[in-house]
Chains A and B, each alone.
Chain A
Amino acid sequence: MQDLSLHLLDIVQNSLKAKADRIVIEISADTDINMLYIMIKDNGHGMSAEMVRQVTDPFVTTRTTRSVGLGIPLLKEHCELTGGRLILESEPDKGTIITASFGLYSIDRMPLGDISDTVAALVLSAPAVNYLIRFHCQDRDFELDWQDIRIQLEDVPLTEPAVLEWIQGNVAEQQQYIFGGVLNEITG
């Protein structure tokens, strides 16, 4: 993976496979302790305590095409390289929360990448899911809730090109506004 937005896309696929229909994605930077957090919370079918323990092992996977799963182990490695960690909380039938933390200014931290492209891919992947995207950094906040978008759109699908373009543009603008000047890769 070249950047964090690609990891995000990859990890959310697990939530989709777990049949989640509400997925909260929160990206926040804490400049007091120089950490960057990405949290994904879903209401999918969750995992047993044993599965949670095993899931960071690349030789454990739910996939049937082969017996190696790399998504979570790769992300965990990237977190730890930067002085951060990966925390997994899950309960069967309730859902899963994954929190990945990174050293904000660690030389090994990958750039955030383009979250808006990931969001567009997620809408196309699962148009029925109600996502909620939240950005937070210092005194700036952004929240976009698919439930609000659906109320506005009535029966127009989110995959409509103009709707997708609006969501993508909105997220891109906010990523720049919220994290510009704080993350090294985004100029303020």
Chain B
Amino acid sequence: MKSLAELEAIKQKAKADLAARTDGGRKVVVGMATCGIAAGARPVMNAMVEELRTRNINDIAVTMTGCIGVCRLEPIVEVIEENGDKVTYVKMDQAKARRVVVEHLINGQVCQDLTIGAVEAEAKKG
């Protein structure tokens, strides 16, 4: 069983990490209203957090928002850059979430095929 005392070691390490860290100002926002949750937003959010943790990236905040208004495209993930630029990814799943972490957040390459623009254009064609 875990005890609160274990947090002491975590605190010490985190304090050292925090002192050495500069805030990147980027954030990831996951739609977490009824529509998003029912479509699988929670595993998407957890996959992003896990992937960032595994890769030791801790200057990107992962958070949530309510219904964005396009429920049929949930789960929706927005990547917001420091300058306010925003990329909206739709119909996400855990694998796509991990891809966004690696390709977009780490390597700076937007996953064009997962963006709302690409998915909507594809839907119109089909």
What residues make up the interface of A, taking CB atoms closer than 8 Å to B? 1, 6, 9-10, 13, 17, 63, 65-66, 69-71, 74, 117-118, 120-121, 124-125, 148-149, 152-154, 156, 159-166, 169-170, 173-174, 177
Q: Is the interface of B mostly helix, strand, loop or mixed?
A: helix
Min Cβ gap B28→A in Å is: 10
Count, A-B residue pairs, CB within 8 A: 96
* B52:A161 contact, CB within 8 angstroms: yes
Q: How many angstroms from the CA of A62 to the CA of B8 in the assembled complex? A: 42
Chain B, 1-36, CB within 8 A of any chain A CB? 1-2, 4-8, 10-11, 13-15, 17-18, 32-34
Min Cβ gap A65→B in Å is: 4
Most chain B CB within 10 A, of A65, A121, A163, A169, is at A121
Task: Encode B29-54 as 1/0 by CB contact (under 8 A) with A.
Answer: 00011100110001101100100110
- Give the residue of B2, B64, B68 whose beta carbon is less than 8 angstroms from that of A121: B64
* B10:A121 contact, CB within 8 angstroms: no
* A10:B6 contact, CB within 8 angstroms: no
Q: How many angstroms from the CA of A65 to the CA of B4 in the assembled complex? A: 42
Q: How many angstroms from the CA of A166 to the CA of B8 in the assembled complex? A: 12
**Closest 9 A/B residue pairs (Cβ):** A152-B7, A161-B53, A65-B69, A170-B2, A125-B64, A156-B14, A71-B34, A160-B14, A162-B10
